Each structure stands twice: as C-alpha cells, then as structure tokens.
Structure 1
C-alpha cells in the first residue's frame, strides 16, 4: 500500500513535469521568490534517493544528499529520476537508523523503511502543495485536484460530500 501511494504521488509529479516548460522549471518563481519549482523537485527526489541508496546500509541520513543541480535545471533528467525512484520503491520493510545532523554532531533515531516511505510521501505532498501555488500563474499547466493534497484530506472531503447527499 505504501509503495503504491508513493508511486501514485510520484506519478502525479511526473505528469506535471511532462507539461512544464524548461524555463518555468529552472527559473526562480515570482510566487516562491527565492526558489524555483526545480529546486523543490530536486529536494523531493533527493530525499527519496537518499532513502533508497542508503537502504542496504541500514542507516539513512537525509543530510548526506548530493544536491545535484541537474535535478533542478533539467526537466528530462528529473523525469528520469522520478521513474528510477518509482521502479525501486518496492523493498522489504526493515529496521533503519535515521541519522540527523544536530548542530555540530549527529543524532540517531530508530525507524523503518515503511516509516521512511511515510515520511517521503508526506514530504513530497508538502512540496507539491508549494509547487501548485507557483503554478497558479502558469495557465498551460493542468494539475489534478489531488496534487499537493494529503490523502487523509482527500478522504475527508469525499466523506463530507457523501454525507451531504
């Protein structure tokens, strides 16, 4: 279930990227002011990439991401990374140690692969919500109503609609 939810949200991101003009991807957004849509996409993808590439070691440190500029400037490269991540999500749940930089040291937290899938899902949705705001001025973009909206919110709205009928 978690793999399919993550794959679905990444699929929405992929569909979005396939519509986006390169300049709107890479240039600073007038709405976001200090960042570009591409920087938000890079951030989403690099956290997924950290989780997957560090899975075998059993220690995941999101602070150790590559910050690959091509992921924020090259739409085709970002699209390829989305597809690569989607194809590698199905891994066995196992214990993971989450390593976080805190001031000048590191803290470790017990976690699991499935917990990190949950984190990346919510993180992706959060950044998609920001991207959606940046796209309000791009009249050529068509986004599904679910883009950037938590699944629990979608379910809640559906329950309100069905109870109103």
Structure 2
C-alpha cells in the first residue's frame, strides 16, 4: 500500500477513537466560543472532503465544492462512524497511481477554480486538512472538558514535541 494512503488511514482512524468516546450530545454540541462549531460538523467536513475525491467523474475530474453535507453525521455518532468506515474502506481499496493527473475544482475564496493535481498531492492535502480540523476539534474538546486517549490528536507530525527540562 502507498505511504500516502497509509498515512491517511492512520490519521482517519483517530476519528474512530474520538467518535467511540463521544455521545451524540457531545458530538453536536456547538457551545464553545468563538465559532460555535461542533465536533460533528468538523468530522462531517473531513469525511465530505474524502468523499469528493471518490466521486471522480468520467472525465477524470473531482469537484471539492460538491460536498454531500450529511447533517446526520454531525448529530449521530453511529452515522459518523458509518460514514468514516465507508471512507476508510474506499481508501483501503484505492487503486490509482499516485502520480496520475486529475482536474480538481475548488473555491479558494474568489470563486471556483480548476487545477491539475496528482492523486498523491490531493490525498496529501486531504490528510493535512484532516489534521488541521483535528486541531480545531482539540480546541472544542478542551472547551467541553473532554480528553481522549491520543496525545498526538490534532498535531501535525512535524510539530516539535515538548521535552521536559531536567
């Protein structure tokens, strides 16, 4: 299996650890300032990004703005786990060459734009995007006084580790 896919799978499996430790009420709680977003909205957003990749059309094009936005994923841990499992299954069975080119549509803030990517670049972006949202989720967890059993959750692998001073 490709190292980019393995990295993405490793990162996404952290969502399972998180979801297994939450209730539906905690998943959908949007009380934490300043943005009042929920853990569920971030999980749904992460999974929608991957889902777009797997919805490549017959012209070898992917539209990252065409997200499904399943509201139930934001509200119910069981729906979020089911969606996560489907993305993990698709990633596990992914059979494209990481150097293959694809046309990606996204909105970078000034309207939709088309760009040529490789699958490797797109999956790398998806993995970094996931870690970025985990950092936001970590902030929400802190605001809700919840801790999970993963000290690396929300940290990029390149983030320097704090060492104790003796």
Category of TM-score, reference length = shorter chain: 0.7 to 0.9
Query: 1:111 is matched with which residue?
Result: 117
Deviation at 1:104, TM superposition (A): 8.2
2:8 alignment partner, SS class = helix
TM-score by length of 2: 0.84
**Native 8 Å contact 1:20 1:141 kept in 2:** no
Q: 1:38 to 1:46 in 2, by over 3 A?
A: same
Alpha-carbon separation, structure 2, partners of 1:46 and 1:2: 19
- CA deviation after TM superposition for structure 1 residue 39, in Å: 0.6
- The worse-fitting range, judged by mean Cα deviation, of 14-23 and 29-38 is 29-38
- 1:107 deviation in Å? 2.0
In structure 2, how many angstroms separate the alpha carbons of the residues matched to 1:78 and 1:32?
24
C-alpha displacement at 1:152, in angstroms?
1.8
The alpha-carbon distance between structure 1 residues 82 and 56, as it changes in their structure 2 partners (threshold 3 A), is farther
Structure 2 contact 32–144 (Cα < 8 Å) conserved: no
Which of the residues 128, 135, 156 maps onto 2:134?
A: 128
Q: When the two structures are aligned, how many residues end up with a matched partner?
A: 159
Mean Cα deviation higher: 116-125 or 61-70: 61-70
Gaps of 5+ in 2: none
| Structure 2: distance between partners of 1:55 and 1:98 | 11
Following superposition, the deviation at residue 143 of structure 1 comes to: 3.4
- For structure 1, list consecutive stretches of 5 or more residues without a partner in the other structure: none
1:95-131 CA-partner distances (Å, limit 9, x unpaired):
1101124778632111011111001000000000010
Deviation at 1:80?
A: 1.2
CA distance in 2, matches of 1:88, 1:57: 20
CA 1:12/1:102 → structure 2, altered by over 3 Å: closer, same or farther?
A: closer
Q: Residues 29 and 37 of structure 1 are in contact (CA less than 8 Å); yes or no, is this contact kept in structure 2?
A: no
Change (3 A) 1:22 1:96: same
Counterpart CA distance in 2 for 1:7 and 1:56 is 26
Structure (1/2) with the larger helix percentage:
1
User: RMSD value over aligned CA atoms?
Assistant: 2.4
Distance 1:21 1:84 in 2: 21
